[in-house]
Chains A and B, each alone.
Chain A
Amino acid sequence: EAGVAQSPRYKIIEKRQSVAFWCNPISGHATLYWYQQILGQGPKLLIQFQNNGVVDDSQLPKDRFSAERLKGVDSTLKIQPAKLEDSAVYLCASSLSGISNQPQHFGDGTRLSIL
């Protein structure tokens, strides 16, 4: 079974530029999550999708972050414009469904550096 795929693996941009990350979940997984992991901290949920609908985006900075999962499969997370504090690893995860007893499977993440 193929795991969660993310790209790119690394990205370096200057502040105020825009950037996009892509995630392809495990086949058949209805729920997709984007997490932000700042250095020295645990991951923090940014947004959760159930198929192509948003379940929870309460911690997504909506003035600069956006995410979509148009066909209920792969997803894109965008930052525009980027700030220095957005430097982090962005992790994508998926699960069969969103209920609590379903384990989340994580990708390798994208490390974003803002200059």
Chain B
Amino acid sequence: AQTVTQSQPEMSVQEAETVTLSCTYDTSESDYYLFWYKQPPSRQMILVIRQEAYKQQNATENRFSVNFQKAAKSFSLKISDSQLGDAAMYFCAYRSGGGSQGNLIFGKGTKLSVKP
């Protein structure tokens, strides 16, 4: 069974600085997707960024980028120029690929605080 581990329960960053959130996963599959979701106090899970395992190039979305290390099964999220609105819970998630209908498997999350 696949597992997702987020080893940092809480992180803090100064506004305008850069922070990296860690995620590791375990799988025997070669085709899969990895995601980072943001969950503010409003509770809605918002997709931040997605990475296809078959793509070597790291995904980027504006101030958000990932460092995908397939061999090491590591998928970290870097937030540049942190803003107060980035404060939230961040969840790393895994989903089997290959056209399957596998469900999302989430880590326990990292609470990010942004200091003004």
Which residues of A approach B to under 8 Å, CB–CB? 3, 31, 33, 40-45, 48, 50, 55-56, 89, 91, 93, 98-101, 103-109, 111
A23 to B42 alpha-carbon distance, docked (Å): 17
What is the chain A residue whose CB lies nearest that of B99? A99
Contacts known (A45-B103, A48-B103); A100 close to B42, Cβ less than 8 A:
no
Contacts known (A42-B107, A93-B45, A106-B44); A99 close to B101, Cβ less than 8 A:
yes
Q: Which residues of B contact A42 (CB under 8 A)?
A: 4, 91, 93, 106-109
Q: Which residues of A contact B96 (CB under 8 A)?
A: 100
Majority-rule SS of B interface residues:
loop
A97 to chain B, nearest CB (A): 8
What is the chain A residue whose CB lies nearest that of B45? A106
A-B contacts, 23 of them at CB < 8 A, read A3-B44, A33-B103, A41-B108, A42-B93, A42-B108, A43-B104, A48-B103, A50-B101, A55-B101, A56-B103, A89-B43, A93-B45, A99-B101, A100-B32, A100-B95, A100-B97, A100-B99, A101-B52, A101-B97, A106-B45, A106-B46, A108-B43, A108-B44
**14 additional contacts, CB 8 Å, given A42-B106, A93-B45?**
A40-B109, A41-B109, A42-B93, A43-B106, A44-B106, A45-B103, A48-B101, A48-B103, A100-B33, A100-B100, A100-B101, A101-B52, A101-B97, A104-B47
Q: Which residues of B contact A93 (CB under 8 A)?
A: 45
**Interface range, B side:** 20 to 34
Contacts known (A42-B108, A108-B42); A103 close to B103, Cβ less than 8 A:
no
Q: Which residues of A contact B42 (CB under 8 A)?
A: 108
Which residues of B approach A to under 8 Å, CB–CB? 4, 32-33, 42-47, 50, 52, 91, 93, 95-104, 106-109
A109 to B40 alpha-carbon distance, docked (Å): 12
Q: Which residues of B contact A31 (CB under 8 A)?
A: 101
Q: Which residues of A contact B109 (CB under 8 A)?
A: 40-42
Q: Which residues of B contact A45 (CB under 8 A)?
A: 103-104
What is the chain B residue whose CB lies nearest that of A59? B103
Q: Which residues of B contact A56 (CB under 8 A)?
A: 101, 103
